[in-house]
Amino acid sequence: MIFRQLFDGVSGTYTYLLASRRGGEAMILDPVIAKVDRYLQLIAELDLHLVKAVDTHLHADHVTGLGMLRDRTRCITVMGEQTKADVVSMRVAEGDRLTIEGIALDVLYTPGHTDDSYSFVMDDRVFTGDTLLIRGTGRTDFQNGDARQQYDSIFSKLLKLPDDTLVYPAHDYKGDTVSTIGEEKAFNPRLRVRSADEYADLMAGLHLPDPIMIDVAIPANRKVGLAQDDFAARGWAVSAAEALALVGRPDVAVIDLRERSERARHGVIPGSLHAPYRDLAEHIGRGGMIYELAAATNKRLLFYCAFGERSAMAVQAAQDMGLATACHLQGGIDAWKKAGGALTR
């Protein structure tokens, strides 16, 4: 396994790069925008292919690297379903599994620091975001933070993991890099409380100053979606209302780019083909399923995904391959549902 803990000294942020092998798929957790060149250099040096960029929550102390990594690698951006970000490619929820080749992260919803805070369990370790820090916990005084919820996330979820589970937080300001659940149970001063009320009192007494970058970071992190201004002008975007009239027509091929777990949870547009985004390059190349379908039938290709970001990247890639009939469902299945579109499961 490839496991790299990277550090941004300005914000004290830890970023994690994960892959199962050299030459394989990679995932990055909590990337910082100022370090994107460094991540991409390391990814190239290790011969990796970045497929997912994940934020544990909407950060207030640094601008996320999610948008820039997506623009430079066409990777999928991921956050929890409560995120206030305008668009991320994929939203996860408690009980989901976030996967890349050879690696699976179990998704835990751990609100309290913010209402969109998640932790991710991978084999012998857990990425705790700003929920549980080394000998500390994340502040709960902004972005819908809630000390009682955080108490619950820590005591009912994270501390239930085996004691030897390695704890990798999103921040450290003292130079510590890793801990364990057992160590935090024994020595974390914030956890020496007997109830949620006592914990809430402790957190309410902290009176921390706002992070220096809060006024820049939060607005920037809420606007991470892919710029698609010229898609409609080029005829590459179809609204959900327009799609209602296109789906089911014999001259239109509807193609779902989502993963199996998303299809099971949210349903499928009737009659659509399934071609997961991660295999897109293969499908739209000469000899690939989508390329040959378009060449043989001249059908219009209507891509869709969860929120319209993967499908927008797919349209761009397909158009680059000369597939001139490619367009996408703007806003994804989310918009389709809101327009009253039918679903099958």
Tell how far CA 190 is from the center of its chain: 29
The number of beta carbons lying within 10 Å of the beta carbon of residue 179 is: 21
Amino acid at 283: H
Between 130 and 172, name the residue whose CB sits nearer to Fe ion. 130
| Distance separating alpha carbons of residues 285 and 318, to the nearest angstrom | 9
Task: Specify the residue for token string 């450290």.
Answer: 172
What is the size of the binding site for Fe ion (CB under 5 A)?
1
Stretch that binds Fe ion, among 122-130, 155-163, 286-294, 323-331 (CB under 5 A): 122-130
Smallest distance, Fe ion to C-beta of residue 139, A = 8
Closest CA to 134 of 207, 189, 56, 202: 189
Say whether residue 130 binds Fe ion (CB under 5 A): yes
Between 55 and 259, name the residue whose CB sits nearer to Fe ion. 55
Smallest distance, Fe ion to C-beta of residue 143, A = 8
Smallest distance, Fe ion to C-beta of residue 12, A = 11
Strand-pair category, 326-329 with 237-238: parallel
Say whether residue 55 binds Fe ion (CB under 5 A): no
Between 96 and 130, name the residue whose CB sits nearer to Fe ion. 130
**What is the signed CA dihedral for 104, 290, 306, 345, rounded to 10 degrees?**
-80
- Two tokens at 100? 């890349």
Q: Which residue is nearest to Fe ion (CB)?
A: 130
Smallest distance, Fe ion to C-beta of residue 240, A = 34
- The angle at the Cα of 183, spanning 181 to 188, to the nearest 5 degrees, equals 95
Smallest distance, Fe ion to C-beta of residue 67, A = 18
Between 19 and 167, name the residue whose CB sits nearer to Fe ion. 167
Judged by the rule CB under 5 A, the positions of this chain that interact with Fe ion are: 130
